[in-house]
Amino acid sequence: MRATVIHGPHDIRIEEVPDPEIREATDAVVRVVNACICGSDLWAYRGVAARVAGQRIGHEFLGIVEEVGSEVAGFARGDFVVAPFVWSDGTCAYCLDGLHTSCPQGGFWGEVGSDGGQSEAVRVPFADGTLVKLPKETAGEEKLLPSLLALSDVMSTGHHAAVTAGVRPGATVAVVGDGAVGLCGVLAAHRLGAGRIIALGRHGQRTAIARTFGATDVVAERGEAAVEAVRELTGGQGAHAVLEAVGTEESMRTAISIARDGGAVGYVGVPHGGSAGVDISQMFNRNVTLAGGVAPARAYIPELLPDVLSGAIEPGLVFDSTVGLDGVPDGYRAMHEREALKVRIAF
- Interface positions with a second copy (CB under 8 A): 93-94, 97, 99, 101-102, 164, 237, 252, 261-262, 264, 267, 270-271, 273-276, 278-281, 283-294, 296
Contact 65, 30 (CB under 8 A): yes
Contact 335, 118 (CB under 8 A): no
Q: How far is the CB of 278 from a second copy (least distance, A)?
A: 4
Among 181, 206, 186, which residue's Cα sits nearest to residue 340? 206
Among 304, 300, 324, which residue's Cα sits nearest to residue 314? 304
Q: For residue 246, give every residue at least 6 positions away whose Cβ sits within 8 Å of its Cβ, in sequence order, or none.
A: 176, 177, 179, 182, 252, 269
Q: How far is the CB of 268 from a second copy (least distance, A)?
A: 8
Q: How far is the CB of 333 from a second copy (least distance, A)?
A: 28
Q: How far is the CB of 158 from a second copy (least distance, A)?
A: 16
Q: Which is nearer to a second copy, 19 or 97 (CB)?
A: 97
DSSP code, position 258: T
For the residues of 83-107, what is the DSSP string, one character each? Answer: E-SEE--S-SHHHHTT-GGG-TT-E
Among 112, 68, 61, 104, which residue's Cα sits nearest to residue 84? 61
Q: Which is nearer to a second copy, 266 or 329 (CB)?
A: 266
Q: Which is nearer to a second copy, 164 or 207 (CB)?
A: 164
Q: Which is nearer to a second copy, 102 or 138 (CB)?
A: 102
Give the whole-angstrom CA distance, residue 188 versus residue 162.
6
Largest separation between any pair of C-alpha atoms in the chain: 61
Q: Which is nearer to a second copy, 284 or 310 (CB)?
A: 284
Contact 132, 302 (CB under 8 A): yes
Q: How far is the CB of 277 from a second copy (least distance, A)?
A: 8
Cα 42–Cα 47–Cα 50 angle in degrees, nearest 5:
105
How far, CA to CA in Å, does 116 sit from each of 30, 67, 90, 320?
12, 17, 20, 22
Q: How far is the CB of 265 from a second copy (least distance, A)?
A: 10
Give the whole-angstrom CA distance, residue 187 versus residue 150.
12
241, with CB counted inside 10 A (0-12, 13-18, 19+), is buried
Q: How far is the CB of 168 from a second copy (least distance, A)?
A: 13
Q: Which is nearer to a second copy, 190 or 240 (CB)?
A: 240
Contact 215, 199 (CB under 8 A): yes
Q: Which is nearer to a second copy, 119 or 254 (CB)?
A: 254
Q: Which is nearer to a second copy, 138 or 289 (CB)?
A: 289
Q: Which is nearer to a second copy, 102 or 105 (CB)?
A: 102
Q: How far is the CB of 263 from a second copy (least distance, A)?
A: 10
Q: How far is the CB of 275 from a second copy (least distance, A)?
A: 4
